Structure 1
């Protein structure tokens, strides 16, 4: 199978997995259910993803991909940390408050095994947070930023950016914000973070 065909097919399978996740929850969604709904073979799903946990891990990684790519590029190219955070903040917030992340988090909240929650943490926050920490650490090294540590400053940044918005989306008390609302929230968070960590 050609790589572009495989990528397109994987996207279709993952779309079906999101739909079943919304309808049935994590525990009641099997690889066989996903394979049937996606008109794919069960063997293909296991070959590509390993198991159900591997499929959902891939889905989380795909959802966080734009944020990670922007952070990786900024770290590699040694772009100014604050400039990078200005660029990354709306991408990150849009991803975290989007339907895909919210569907995953709602399913994780209902999954008593904790398996999906652990997968989301490993493929999401645990892979993005170190990049934000590294980026801010460079700002501390060059004295562009001031904070007790890069880890503390990264926590401040995420708290200012996200607050309780994701929880409110998960429990259905907040609708999906518009692009304009995302940009405004990101700008306000960056402004507060800059004042807090101004060298």
Structure 2
């Protein structure tokens, strides 16, 4: 027997067509511009120039559409492919730094801020499953995406840790810090590309200082 989460996951298309991608982009734009009230089936269909029937066919109900929106946003955080047989410290550092940079850019975007604020509101009122959707397709999905890279680094003797979950949480904390909560509370942080690059490099350096080969030797 499947629960509601399984049903939601089943309704979200894994490979999106250009028209489906446009629907999600338009839905996210409406959310940023008008909040939850602007996110109606009719307004999304009108903005994306498609029918409401197509929306239901592609994404199912409202929770299915919200799941697809969160996944679409989270997919912008990418893992740089690594060759296990040629993995060295420089390649591993570059991959983690790139992931951190993407992560910061996505989290600090107006789209993610709007999605996270809506998820908090829905979780507090039990209005929908959006809180669970954001957790499973946000932090949990990020962990599933990055932990294989961390394990690969450990197997290559470049990283040293006992618990990969703890290592991931440390990396998460170093990268995100208090930035996300401050943005959610309305702080107007200056998140320029140059600052994001600096913060991503700083966090990756700090992670290597804690878990890198030299740290273990020391």
TM-score norm. by structure 1 comes to 0.84
Matched, 1:137 2:151: yes
Whether 1:127 and 2:127 are equivalent positions in the alignment is: no
Point out 4+ residue stretches in structure 1 off by more than 4 angstroms.
none
Aligned equivalents of 2:39, 2:129: Cα separation in 1: 13
The gaps in structure 2 that reach 5 residues or longer are 1-15, 214-218
Q: Deviations over 1:19-70 (max 9, x none)?
A: 43242427x73323422443421110011112222222222222222324x2
Of 15, 38, 44 in structure 1, the residue corresponding to residue 48 of structure 2 is 38
Instruction: Deviation per CA, 1:148-172: give whole Å up to 9, x if none.
Output: 3211111111100001111111111
Asked if residue 93 in structure 1 is aligned to residue 101 in structure 2, the reply is: no
Unaligned runs of 5+ in 1: 1-5
The C-alpha deviation readout for 1:164-190, integer Å capped at 9, x for no partner, is 111111111133611011001111101
For 1:84 and 1:8, locate their aligned partners in 2 and report how far apart those are by CA, in whole Å: 28
Output the TM-score relative to the length of structure 2.
0.77
Structure 1 residue 119 displacement after superposition: 1.0
- Who is 2:164 aligned against? 150
Q: How far 1:14 moved relative to its partner?
A: 2.0
CA distance in 2, matches of 1:37, 1:190: 40
User: Which stretch shifts more, 78-87 or 44-53?
Assistant: 78-87
Q: Does 2:17 match 1:7?
A: yes
Partner of 1:49: 59
Deviation by residue 1:116-152 (Cα, 9 ceiling, x = unmatched): 1211112222222122122111222222111232111
Separation in structure 2 between the aligned mates of residue 92 and residue 19 of structure 1, nearest angstrom: 20
Give SS of 1:147's match.
coil
1:184 paired residue number: 198
Which residue pairs with 2:119 in the alignment? 108
Q: Taking structure 1 as reference, are residues 57 and 181 closer, same or farther at Cα in structure 2, changes over 3 Å only? A: same
Aligned residue pair count: 189
What is the alpha-carbon root mean square deviation over aligned residues?
A: 2.2
- Structure 1 Cα separation of the partners of residues 36 and 189 of structure 2: 20
Distance change in 2, residues 1:176/1:12 (3 Å): farther
